Chain A
Amino acid sequence: MRVPKGVALWVAATCAGVLAVLGIGAALQYWAAAPENRPHLVEVVSEGLPVVFFGTAMLMVFAGMAASWLFRRHPHAARQLAEQSRSLLAAEKGFRVATNGAPALVELAAVINQLADEYHRIEHDLESRSTETRARVEEERDRFAALMSELSQGVVVCNADGRILLYNPRAAALLAPAEPGRQGEYTPLGLGRSVLALLDRNQVAHALDMLQHQNGHVDRPQTRFVASAANGALLRVQVAPFLGAEQELAGLVFTLDDVGRLVGRESQRLRLLQSLATGVRGPVANLRATTENLASFPDMPADRREQFIEIAASEAHVLTEQLNAALLAYADALKGSLTLEDMRAADVLAVAQRRIAEALRLPVVIEDVDAELWLCVDSYAIAQAMTFLAARLANDYDLHGFRLRAGSGGNLGEIDLIWTGAIVGSDALSLWEGEPMRIGTEETPLTLRDVLDRHGSEAWLQVDKIRQISRFRLLLPRGQAVAPVPYRSTAAESRPEYYDFDLFEHIDGVGALAERKLSDLSYSVFDTETTGLEPSAGDEIISIGAVRIVNRRVLKQEVFEQLVNPRRPISRESTAVHGIDAKQLANEPPIEQVLPRFHRFCEDTVLVAHNAAFDMRFLELKEAATGVRFGQPVLDTLLLSAVVHPSMDNHHLDMIAERVGVRVIGRHTALGDALLTGEVFLRLVPLLAERGIVTLGQALEASRATYHSRLQY
């Protein structure tokens, strides 16, 4: 340990003082002595001088050591303790203060350490509790997302401004363009977008009015309407409000059902009824008038009688024809009741297979199934009926296995339960048809006949005596294929980004965009691939890819990806970069059709691109031809990178990605590059903030100031 200069000086000064006192003492002695004694005195003093010096030196050493010892144990140790205590808060958790100072300081250190222990214990508690809570919230979110994904109804939730906070895949499917990539007037479903763009604005406004009217009078206000979506689907929309902490309207929940087919079936039934009602009245009237004549006037001439009998016969015939024609024309309306569902025959068989195998512990094989066949069935009842039959067959005829088959027979679907061996008489089937279906201990009052009636279907036994193969055949009404909902994994890393409740905090301040924080804005990050590098020399866009950033998240589900027919050749150099040649683009839409759609995708967002000047030049050159102007602010990741890392020369996208720690995948497609640019941009935002660049205005200004902004294309 080094003794501070002050202490050394103090020790030196003490010693000098002692020497000075001794010197002054000697001098006083000298002056006080009689003059004749003075030489003698000098002699004595001179002789004792080494002893005096030695004594002084020893004194100095002792004084110094004492001072140093005291210093170490008191002020220095106290200061060290203070420093250590200060770093206690910031340092590793295991760090504790220690001192070899005075006993009082040692005691103090022990108390400080005790307090530190307590502090860290509390800190640890809080941390683990918050980690736990976070994990629970994450888990609940995932579970919620999974639930939403599984719903067969479309769900869209928006905040009080109509901005979408959440939607599920079914809603995305219901509102998707009828022909992907070809819809002109279509605004895509997306987080942060307005719900008014998806549904009829007036109908939503009317629904809001109704809800406001109900509020306070009705327990659970809700309203519904039927709307046609932009893609032509007929949707039944139910709207319910949800309230915030202070009972104010916090948002709306829209549930969407595709009622096009239901409505179709219902109106078909109505038409059947009407056609029967009006179609039958005429002939019946004629018949009645005729027969009443015959009855009322028995004395009529024979030729008249003959005539009336002929009329009666012909009207009866007309009536029969009419009835048959109506029933044939509306056969579809008569089958499926509303409890029946459209299902793939393969799924119906799979359910039946599982149920039979579980209930009877017998092997059940699906022999053949028409993958394209859809049935309109109550799958539970059908599986139960098949299991019941299999159980009766297995018990009464000692069968050891079954095969299942489904195929189409004309306008109906056929399901066969097949077995080899025992020949069963058809009287057995008619007996079973009327029995309540019992499988093991499970019993239902329903009979096989009930199930058949409910489906308007028939069943019979078919036996091939030579091959000893029997089949129980069930005819079922055919269903319509239901559009599949895209499957989404609910694993954490690929959690769908269909919801964003942080948008509740979203404030729309369009006017003061420049003052808005970069972290609060929504972005459309895009990239284009082109026929070459010279837009002014006629090079054209051949591909546009874009992704949205909302609330600091790249929404990988909300992307724009479209190839464009450039109507000109593509340079070999360009094809080498993106791998697209003119042949691939022959059937793609021209830029005049694509840009308006892209413009709608970018609505209400700030544009972001890497080397944006290049892409923007292409867009600007198309303004006149398409009438579409991209007037929103544009941020360039190349320029922002130059702002953040001014000393670096290389601002290629790959290099920046590496510097900010983004993994590079899927490059050189427009969408791949847009996704990468988006990730890079999100990493640049905090780095900009470190440099005091927080708002959009500041970012634009800093970009302008960098050297690279002077590049010209």
Chain B
Amino acid sequence: MSELRKVLIVDDEPNILTALEFLFRRSGYDVRLASNGVEALEQAETYRPDVMLLDIMMPVKNGYEVCQNVRERPHLAGMKIVMLSAKGSEAEINKGLSLGADRYVTKPFSSKDLLAMIDQLFDAGGTQKQ
């Protein structure tokens, strides 16, 4: 199992969590879930995922803040962040990428495209766990 890529999915909506959890497990990922920003940061420290799928509009701490916090911690530097959001304006995309997200994906999205995009992300940047 230690060979598997680790993905942390952060969203406050259980339905999308369920669907994405299933999708990533079936696609050969090790999956953990978090339903708000604070949980996401805790998991980031303890679980050390390779990639974090991060929703923006969440209670307690929103996706922008989580992304910023992760990027402020040097020991989490290798973690990829993909923002998944219903907010899709150019300004919002710019903000997400500027705060350190590697990709910004607007909802709704195609599962296949999402998986391909994440594969491509690892191919481009390399990972700690090849």
Contacts and interface: CB of A to CB of B under 8 A. Distances in A.
B15 interface: yes
Interface string A83-123: 00000000000000000000000000000000000000000
Interface stretch (A188-196, A261-269, A283-291): A283-291
Given A297-B26, A307-B18, A289 B86 contact: no
Contacts of B85: 281
A587 to B, nearest CB: 51
Chain B, interface size category, equals 20 to 34
A281 B19 contact: no
B19 A284 contact: no
A308 to B, nearest CB: 7
Interface in B9-52: 13, 15-16, 18-20, 22-23, 26
A72 to B, nearest CB: 111
B57 to A, nearest CB: 8
A279 B87 CA distance: 9
Given A281-B86, A285-B86, A304-B22, A293 B111 contact: yes
A315 interface: yes
Interface in A290-312: 290, 292-293, 296-297, 300, 304, 307-308, 311
Nearest to A296: B111
B87 A278 contact: yes
Size class of the A contact interface (CB-based, 8 Å): 20 to 34
A334 B87 CA distance: 23
Interface in B88-130: 88, 106-112
Interface string B54-87: 0000000000000000000000000000001111
B111 A285 contact: no
A284 B108 contact: yes
A314 B18 CA distance: 13
Nearest to B14: A311
B19 A293 contact: yes
B107 A282 contact: yes
Nearest to A285: B107
A281 B18 CA distance: 17
Contacts of A665: none
Contact of B16 (A286, A296, A304, A307): A286
A277 interface: yes
A309 to B, nearest CB: 12
B65 to A, nearest CB: 19
B19 A289 contact: yes
A315 B15 contact: yes
A315 B108 CA distance: 13
Contacts of A284: 107-108
Indicate the member of A293, A307, A314 with the most B CB atoms within 10 Å: A293
A281 B22 contact: no
B16 A285 contact: yes
B19 A290 contact: yes
Nearest to A281: B86
Interface string A313-357: 011000000000000000000000000000000000000000000
B107 A293 contact: no
A311 B13 contact: no
A288 B23 CA distance: 12
B23 A293 contact: yes
B106 A289 contact: no
Contacts of B20: 289
A332 B100 CA distance: 41
B123 to A, nearest CB: 22
Given A281-B88, A282-B13, A314-B15, A288 B108 contact: yes
Interface centre among A277, A284, A290 (most CB of B within 10 A): A290
Contact of B108 (A278, A285, A296, A311): A285
Contacts of B88: 277-278, 281
A455 B16 CA distance: 40
Contacts of A314: 15
A564 to B, nearest CB: 55
A300 B87 CA distance: 32
A281 B26 contact: no
A218 B108 CA distance: 49
A300 B23 CA distance: 11
Interface of B: 13, 15-16, 18-20, 22-23, 26, 84-88, 106-112
29 contacts: A277-B88, A278-B86, A279-B86, A281-B106, A282-B13, A282-B16, A282-B107, A285-B16, A285-B107, A286-B13, A286-B15, A287-B108, A288-B109, A288-B110, A288-B111, A289-B19, A289-B20, A289-B109, A289-B111, A290-B19, A292-B111, A296-B112, A300-B26, A307-B18, A308-B18, A308-B19, A308-B22, A311-B15, A311-B19
